[in-house]
A and B are shown apart, each in its own frame.
Chain A
């Protein structure tokens, strides 16, 4: 059987790769995608704990994380669309001023 620590290590790996993507990527959308990867890594550890502790709470938490992620994605993508409409670029190095 797979021990709990394997799942947690996988979760850590995904989270760290998400962090790396967040720091390395230069366009807004890829950064946003990396955040989703981090959330997914955390979700995995929630579900793993839920399974190994035989409690349902971890599953419920994942549900809430997903709802929040959906709301965040909707608002975040709307912000990206309106930023691109005003600045005509996706590069975070160029979107550095509060106003034109």
Chain B
């Protein structure tokens, strides 16, 4: 494939991915409000459009037209780039997430992902580890107590749970023998890794909730004690960027869980040719949607952890458990 065609394909795929992602974030947010409302025996937003379907549009307009306030004592440069860092580091992992097998377009074969790299999982871990900077700098540069406390909590929580997250992924990587996400999915054609790696799966899920600062680990933005955490001082579009980053991170971890543990696009494929082409993508989306629903469901169900409980749970329970899982998995592989 010549480089110009490659760049053209990458550009088109990036535009499609960003378009889908932004609308998806808007509707996940609507779905969250609806589902949490149902869990709490309410109706949720139902005024704008049929069943409240135009609510995300109204929210966007509201956010865009709000006054953009900057604290007078903020560190200007860092205050401005912090939300940009958060969104960039959230968007980057999407570029290597495959959603299906190769497709043939205009005589070229191209994977259903923006680009494929050998060290897929390491790349994702690297980029998410840089996401901490967005949170930490936002809290510090706002020059506010609430923001600072929120960012300290968020930063230490993300660093701590990154360890458990990475160690949980080691088991499936050892079984598949590759860091390439497509390779990991192809290695699951017989059995999904959720069955041999059930412990790693639960460690990954728990750590993913903490990594994305979602309930029950949403201490960095615990509204009862910290205002809104690290983005207390942010308003309008800059607040929307943090919001966007959080939901895109949710989508990313859901996609990774699908790819690594639930067999990616593997599923029941039947019917005529066009259906066989679409079904793998459909299975992938269905599995990812299940994880997204899980995020919302847990938020509506579980109360928030205390901070020392959170840290103790991460370091004293999840990390040793993940290490034990790595040990057992490598023993089984070597004895096989």
Touch A–B, Cβ below 8 Å: no
- Contact surface of A with B, Cβ cutoff 8 Å: none
